Amino acid sequence: MNQVAIEGHIRYFQSLLPATVERRVLFADGSRGTRSVQFLDGLRMRYRAPRLPRIDGATTRRGFDASWRKFVRARPADPLLLYFAGHGSPDPRRDLDNNVFDLWGGGGLSVRDLAARMEELPDDTPVVLVMAQCFSGAFANLLFEGGRPDGELVERDVVGFFAATRDRPASGCTPEINEADYTDFSSYFFAALSGVDRLGNRVVGADFDQNRFVGMNEAFAYALLHQATGDVPVATSDVFLRRFVNKPDHETMATPYSRVLSWSSPAERAALEGLSDALGLRGEHRLRAAYDREFGPGAGRRDVEDVTSAHRLRFIRLAKSVVLARALRQSGDRALLERFERLRAAEARNPLAEAKAASQVRQDSRRRAAR
């Protein structure tokens, strides 16, 4: 099940990092000689050896622990970006708040496993997570102590963007070799964030606030708007709001659409308007109309690959987050609001641009020293 698309995702992401940026890549069994990559050759499924620029270890528990111990823990103050591009599964005990990233040869790395590793880092070490696997939304619980949804907020800045809610699969694991056909969440996210898609084409239209800078929040909105799959992506701010703002759905969905737009950021507004147009929604009561269509009487059970249903869920979830954020701002809870705004500010960063800038500073410093 180690499809060629997974290898392609890793290759694409590596191409976006400046050469001087330290990184570690764990892939399959860690060997360049094993035929571990599944691909479709016509109608026949075949396997070949990996073709990645670098492989530093195996995607096993031992490989992950060794990389964490020798690389991450050895550089505790460095900002950390974790990109997971493999498969994911629900927790074996059906605790969907503790889902797992599937490891090579069986077993998994759970939300609470990763929370325990992150607790070894200083509180001021920022962590960014981009996770493309099925059921990945559970990892937004890394916002909380122990990775438990009822835990206290962690002190560090943790932001994450996930391809699917905790109870849904995600796209992107295909044996098809034509990367022009890849429509997974992380491809859209990183294309918007970097300005270059996986085929090397320039990407425009993600700078929703027109400030000549694309943050992760804008890249997330870009993926919500453009990804034509059954994925329903999640951001850490979505989970924060649902944990701390208690507002029933029937009240949220009764909010007039014009008010939702007025409370939205430029990125949120663009995604809401684009999704609304795609769904054919009209009028002030479009939140209620979308909600009733998806969850009301006669809605029935939806196919998780139904793109229209996924777009409707994205619209509903995004609108709900906007309304909950407004309720939080009106709540008078200054401490909670300050923590939320700090999270939103962290989500608006661009770690790729920051890495490029840091790399340029190091190069300039070396040039001056050489003189």
What does the pLDDT look like over 107-137, one tens digit per residue? 999 999 999 999 999 999 999 999 999 999 9
Reading the block at residue 69, the tokens are 């111990």
**pLDDT of 362 strictly over 80:** no
The one-letter code for the residue type at 293 is R
- pLDDT given at position 152: 97
- pLDDT given at position 371: 74
The Cα 133–Cα 274 span in angstroms is 25
- pLDDT given at position 363: 76
**Would you list the DSSP string of 208-273?**
TT-SS---HHHHHHHHHHH--SS---EEHHHHHHHHH----HHHHTTS-HHHHHHHS-HHHHHHHH
The Cα 347–Cα 12 span in angstroms is 22
Give the pairing of strands 158-162 and 80-84.
Answer: unpaired
The Cα 90–Cα 95 span in angstroms is 7
- pLDDT given at position 77: 85
Inter-residue contact 129 to 98 (CB < 8 Å): no
For residue 154, name the pLDDT band (cuts at 50, 70, 90).
Answer: very high
Reading the block at residue 148, the tokens are 């438990």
Inter-residue contact 265 to 211 (CB < 8 Å): no
The residues spanned by each domain of the chain are 4-236
Give the pairing of strands 88-89 and 234-235.
Answer: unpaired
Whether CATH 3.40.50 fits 4-236: yes
Inter-residue contact 214 to 206 (CB < 8 Å): yes
Percent of the chain at pLDDT exceeding 90 = 91
**pLDDT of 98 strictly over 80:** yes
- pLDDT given at position 298: 78
- pLDDT given at position 262: 98
In the predicted model, what is the mean pLDDT of the chain?
A: 95
The torsion angles phi and psi of 130, rounded to 5 degrees, stand at: -125, 120
The torsion angles phi and psi of 109, rounded to 5 degrees, stand at: -105, 115
- pLDDT given at position 171: 95
What does the pLDDT look like over 30-80, one tens digit per residue? 999 999 999 999 999 999 999 999 999 999 999 999 999 999 988 888 999
CA distances, 98 to each of 90, 94, 105 (Å): 8, 8, 20
For residue 297, name the pLDDT band (cuts at 50, 70, 90).
Answer: confident
**pLDDT of 6 strictly over 90:** yes
pTM: 0.95
- pLDDT given at position 303: 87
The torsion angles phi and psi of 344, rounded to 5 degrees, stand at: -65, -40
Count the alpha carbons within 13 Å of 42 in the hemisphere toward its beta carbon: 1
Mean pLDDT of 264-284: 98
